[in-house]
Structure 1
Amino acid sequence: MKKIVHLFILLFLIALGLNAQTLQSPNGQLKATFNIDNGIPTYQLVYKDKQVLKPGKMGLELFNEKDLIHNFSVIDTKTLSFDETWQPVWGEEKEIRNHYNEMEITLLQKETERKMIIRFRLFDDGLGFRYEFPEQANLTHFVVKEERTQFAMTGDHTAFWIPGDYDTQEYDYTTSKLSEIRGLMKQAITPNASQTPFSDTGVQTALMMKTDDGLYINLHEAALVEYSCMHLNLNDTTFVFESHLTPDTQGRKGYLQTPCVSPWRTIIVSDDARDILLSRITLNLNEPCKLEDTSWIKPVKYVGVWWEMITGKSTWAYCDLPSVKLGITDYSKVKPNGKHGANNENVKKHIDFAAKHGFDQVLVEGWNIGWEDWFGKSKDYVFDFLTPYPDFDIDMLNDYAHSKGVKLLMHHETSSSVRNYERHMEKAYNLMNQYGYTAVKSGYVGNILPRGEYHYGQWLVNHYLYAIKQAAEHHIMVNAHEAVRPTGLCRTYPNLIGNESARGTEYQAFGGSKPNHTTILPFTRLIGGPMDYTPGIFEMDIEKINPDNKSHVNATLANQLALYVTMYSPLQMAADLPENYARFPDAFQFIKDVAIDWDETKVLEAEPGEYITYARKAKGKNEWFVGCTNGYDRRESKIAFDFLEKGKKYEATIYSDTKASHYKTNPQAYQIRKIKVTATSRLTQYCAPGGGYSIHIREL
């Protein structure tokens, strides 16, 4: 009898093993296993013999059709190894290695004779997988009711999260155990111009976690194209996340036609937090650049007529009319409000400032008619993106800027009236070409029109990419604010030079952000691509700019300098008012000097929510810049300069907090000193609460 039982168990294990497929990373430290469990595809992940993900289910639920979850069997498996090195148009390093082992599993649903492919790519630092639907007779057009991909955590991890929301990512991060998310959700949902939370345990990607035994895990997606943005819904009893796609007005999650693919689902994992920041999985899972000529794409350092409106010192609107209609309202006959920021004199002042200090461009918001009743009115024909206000002489200002070697940076606030933007887009881009504008900051503030659509649904995802493609035809770079979070598409379309899609510096004037906010963003928002964070605020007391605004910037001045290194972007703004920089010319020098395109990037130390220290080598120069941002607690940062070339001597200019610095009580206390360093040097540097430091290193 015992022999029969043992034989039965052996046969069962053999049968189970027939469906199991294992893939190893190139260095052998990661193992992904695919299996069919009672007809349902599952996968799991192991790192250095530690389980990262328990078996999780895979598949899609469809509208009015049998799901793509059950009754599958494996009919084919293919594997390959891939290794290449590619050069980004701009980036954190000159070259990026794309090295992975791949497993392609073809599944057949016998009852329907439909095929689905699941493609796994396992890198040394994580896993990417996606669903592929080949052209076939029994699956042509189909509607997704929900994607049912699971990410099965092994325990109650610490998470750095923001609420799941169809319309915004502009939240402060909450740090908690997974089991605490439900209880903290209500207070985590703070007001926004447009927001649609969907669950008491729903969170957004990129989601950063840390396990009790020291593993760092990041969940995100890559190559979001013709699909809805993914959120994660947590079962806080089992600690299993399940994908939750953004719906449309009818509650449907995506309209697909074969052949097609889903975005990649990504899991980055390491026992060293620095590896998460250095991972290039998101970029590598996107297609290579599709633009034949990229010579016109140039990183940009800019100033702008912006912070004064954000703080309330001046206005976007020209006058105080309660209602305006484009083509009917005659602005020449109305009285100006006297606070309009985009006026000729003010813009010329910013152009002069940019020219004097070596900035490339000047952003001007509120230059075009329509701002008087732009927000919250569900207004379709709100802007034409062509007609300037009477006090903004576009011809004169453009000529003046060019005479100073400076360009203006265009602003297109759509007010989320997407059809209206597409209606005017060609003429608006032509206007930019006419005047030599090379970059546009677009915005999507407010609820989406058509009414009922969401910022992160398939319809809007398609629009954002359409705008990027159209801009590329006009040789225009795009910096999209309030758009869907980046998923590495800047590799394919490098004219997507920046995004906001997170809680940026503007919220420091709306009540403030947490002092450790920028020690989390590189682990979350920046996993998908660069952020136009708009750093560089020197006056922390907003009341000194606008007596009616009692907000306070929760950072030290030294922290603000470090952001130019830690918050990567090829589009960097010196966001404060010119007069505030004039008060601190020695500190402002770092903003003038810091590079915005890099040959090498190192992470010297990192712990999410606590501190991050980067070292970056400027493109084409033997100059390095170091930036450290610190969280709530004072600490001593200890770094080595072993990234420098051996045998050479360097001078390091250090911009740092003092022992008296504090983000709340003494934010403008800083010191500057110069030291000599080599590749064998070490540095111990004090960091204040909400503080940090930056270093400019030149070869002697």
Structure 2
Amino acid sequence: MKFIRLFIIFTIVNTCIYAQETISYHVSSPDLKIILTCNPAQGTYSITKGKRTILQNSKLGIIREDEDFTKALKVVGTAERKLKESYVMLNAKKKSITYTANELVISTKTPTGKSMNIIFRVSNDGAAFRYEFPEKDPSLRKIQSEHTSFHFPEGTLAWLQAKAEAQTGFEHTNPSYEVYYNMAIPVGTPSSSANGWVYPALFKTGDTWVMLTEAGLERNYCGTALQRLSPGGEYRINFPQEAEKIKGGALYPESTLPWITPWRIIAIGDLATIMESTLGTDLTPASRLKDSSFVKPGKAAWSWVLEKDKATIYPVQKKYIDYAADMKWQYCLIDANWDQTIGYDSVAVLADYARKKNVGMLLWYNSAGDWNTVKFTPRDKLLTHEERIKEFGRLEEMGIKGIKIDFFGGDGQSMIAYYHDILTDAAAHHLLVNFHGATLPRGLQRTYPNLMTAEAVLGYEMITFGQDAANKAPQHMVASAMIRNVFDPMDFTPMCLYKIPNIERQTTAAFELATAVAFLSGIQHYAETPDGMDHVPVEVKDFLKALPAQWDDVKFIDGYPGKLYVVARKSGSKWYVTGLNGEQINKSLALNLTFLKNKTGKLISSGNDSDSHNGFFAKEVKIPASGELKIDLKKNDGFVAVFE
């Protein structure tokens, strides 16, 4: 009898444990097409879209120094709600954005009673989740690792950029997200770098596209990446290398409680869905600026990219101010060593001269610290709050409108906090910010609207350094537009319409012009010089003078990463349609522009050699009732068209 009672108790206990381990929780997108399933006891989740598995059993959880939140989690409660939020962006693919999603919060406890909530959100364009430690405790907690993974089905292809190892490259300035993309590689392919793969990471499983990134990165967490190895197509979260921090500062995440981690974002859909998605800012905190009236997107003249250091002198910069004014561009950037070759007093004179011509001055800075050995100045002026306030106050008095800060040291928590601190202090002095040699913005432009752009890309300057980079440029520029630039502004510094010194450009002039619309940047710094612009036909100059500095809406038209990108951007009543051919083959396109049917516009393309003017051919085009526009592109060619 005693044996029977023990057997019954044992059976009940095991049944309860089994039931806990097999309970799954589901949350779907508002249109019911995407379903995320979570099993907290097993520490896994999966995602389907329709009948297709997008992510198979992937891992959840975090290991803190004081507790393991990856296993034996007991669910103590759940909460569901529907979300709908509208916001406005001045520096994005769309101005007025509405985010609609279903949220599921699963509250768990470890066997020792410590709490962690897993917060899921699923929208029609993807899913996202993060972890929350809701307890209140002033003691510092430290995270050792994040267990999160993304497990793709067999046969999935990936478009990935390796994350350069810390302290490598020019004057020990890596990682700065400046590496070429690996195109259409099988999942599971190891990264060429021990530092893994950067975000955004693009995948294709069957006919469905997936993009991974993170957002909501606060000063109490490090920037993450994907690990170098992904056995079986399972990508795990990678923390930064030891050197990616400020000396004496935190590398891995540490914080008091309560504490919430960044969002892990999984955009899902066809290519148009990914290209038009705004998840990268939907899941980022709203603006923290009390006053954003000084935030004005624009276009900028910039001497350094083609003329290099010799141009950073007073008379040349005055010439570039005149150039910006003539082109009706809003800004002019003076690059490195200006404090030595021009000086603060003379820059103040230039700033006053520029103001009278309705041009704002931007100045370069070295992020400094022990993380880079770059000698360019000004440096060592931004490291503390007191130093920043002193320097930014001086710039504000001089009438400077913004700063470009270069050569950051990686993704450690202390370095991420440095970005936040710069943006906060710059805003207090009405300064716009451009981060160069930097990490991916991860939606910071919504939280700090004065963040106008960031490099975090192998940009145009590399094309000017060597022929090999110029040869790779067409494919790389198309890939960058469709991966790096999807959620965050990108300071590629594009567009040389005439000549690159000592380099044989591989793109047509029309391709170069098209990048002015294809690439998104709060301030778009153009590579072309005043002398080069003198060789451009008047219709191209007029196009660039009238080109909007910000956009109201976007429509992806056609494309494939690295091969072709055709997109339409709206400003006011006008639609700008642009295309880039990233391959060395001629293409005949039949574009579906039904939203523009029966409208007449102006097309600028390469045309035939016999009818082109310095590489350009302009003509009037009308979209027929069918909505189909046919365009022929040469190798590495492009076009722009404007309809109203």
TM-score past 0.5 threshold: yes
Q: What amino acid maps onto 1:19 in structure 2? A: I
1:71-220 equivalent positions in 2, closer than 5 A: 71-110=72-111, 112-136=112-136, 140-165=139-164, 166=166, 167-178=175-186, 181-182=189-190, 185-186=191-192, 197-199=193-195, 202-211=196-205, 213-220=206-213
Aligned length: 602
Q: RMSD value over aligned CA atoms?
A: 2.8
d(CA) in 2 for partners of 1:536 and 1:303?
A: 11
1:611-630 equivalent positions in 2, closer than 5 A: 611-618=564-571, 621-630=572-581
2:555 is matched with 602
Question: Which of 425, 432, 438 is the matching residue for 2:401?
Answer: 438
Q: C-alpha offsets along residues 297-334 of structure 1, whole Å, 9 cap, x if unaligned?
A: 11111102222344xxxx2xxxxxxxxxxxxxxxxxxx
Deviation at residue 43 of structure 1 after TM alignment: 0.7
Q: C-alpha offsets along residues 254-277 of structure 1, whole Å, 9 cap, x if unaligned?
A: 21221111100011111x201101
Residues 222, 251 of structure 2: 8 Å contact kept: no
SS in 1 for 2:391: helix
Q: C-alpha offsets along residues 403-422 of structure 1, whole Å, 9 cap, x if unaligned?
A: 22222112223345586422
Q: What amino acid maps onto 1:637 in structure 2? A: L
d(CA) in 1 for partners of 2:619 and 2:96?
A: 33
Question: Which of 351, 354, 363 is the matching residue for 2:324?
Answer: 354
Q: What amino acid maps onto 2:266 in structure 1? A: I
Q: C-alpha offsets along residues 570-621 of structure 1, whole Å, 9 cap, x if unaligned?
A: 2112211110111113333322222121222111112222211111111xx3
Q: What amino acid maps onto 1:429 in structure 2? A: F
Question: Which of 262, 287, 304 is the matching residue for 1:289?
Answer: 287
Deviation at residue 640 of structure 1 after TM alignment: 3.3
Deviation at residue 253 of structure 1 after TM alignment: 2.0
1:233-382 equivalent positions in 2, closer than 5 A: 233=227, 235-249=229-243, 253-270=252-269, 272-310=270-308, 315=309, 340-369=310-339
Q: What amino acid maps onto 1:426 in structure 2? A: I
Deviation at residue 389 of structure 1 after TM alignment: 3.6
2:374 is matched with none
1:635-654 equivalent positions in 2, closer than 5 A: 635-644=587-596, 650-654=599-603
Q: C-alpha offsets along residues 88-130 of structure 1, whole Å, 9 cap, x if unaligned?
A: 24432231111000000111002x2110011000010100100
Structure 1 residues 231 and 634: CA distance shift in structure 2, 3 A: same
1:467 is matched with 422
SS in 2 for 1:532: coil
TM (norm. structure 2) is 0.87
d(CA) in 1 for partners of 2:442 and 2:504?
A: 32
Which residues of structure 2 form unaligned runs of 5+?
A: 1-10, 167-174, 372-379
Question: Which of 567, 580, 584 is the matching residue for 2:532?
Answer: 580
Q: What amino acid maps onto 1:516 in structure 2? A: Q
1:337 is matched with none
Identity, in percent, stands at 25
SS in 2 for 1:100: strand
SS in 1 for 2:222: coil
d(CA) in 2 for partners of 1:12 and 1:133?
A: 26
Question: Which of 23, 40, 43 is the matching residue for 1:19?
Answer: 23
Question: Which of 482, 487, 497 is the matching residue for 1:538?
Answer: 497
The alignment status of 1:62 with 2:14, answered yes or no, reads no
d(CA) in 1 for partners of 2:47 and 2:188?
A: 25
d(CA) in 2 for partners of 1:96 and 1:205?
A: 23
Residues 366, 406 of structure 2: 8 Å contact kept: yes
Question: Which of 222, 230, 252 is the matching residue for 1:228?
Answer: 222
Deviation at residue 693 of structure 1 after TM alignment: 0.9
Structure 1 residues 277 and 577: CA distance shift in structure 2, 3 A: same
Q: What amino acid maps onto 1:355 in structure 2? A: A
Q: C-alpha offsets along residues 429-455 of structure 1, whole Å, 9 cap, x if unaligned?
A: 11221122222111126xxxxxxxx41
SS in 2 for 1:421: coil
1:422 is matched with 383
d(CA) in 2 for partners of 1:486 and 1:175?
A: 23
Q: What amino acid maps onto 2:522 in structure 1? A: P
SS in 2 for 1:351: helix
Residues 275, 486 of structure 2: 8 Å contact kept: yes
Structure 1 residues 413 and 680: CA distance shift in structure 2, 3 A: farther
Structure 1 residues 168 and 552: CA distance shift in structure 2, 3 A: farther
TM (norm. structure 1) is 0.81
d(CA) in 1 for partners of 2:69 and 2:447?
A: 30
SS in 1 for 2:457: coil
The alignment status of 1:655 with 2:621, answered yes or no, reads no
Deviation at residue 54 of structure 1 after TM alignment: 0.6
Structure 1 residues 602 and 528: CA distance shift in structure 2, 3 A: closer
1:189 is matched with none
Structure 1 residues 615 and 128: CA distance shift in structure 2, 3 A: same
1:448 is matched with none
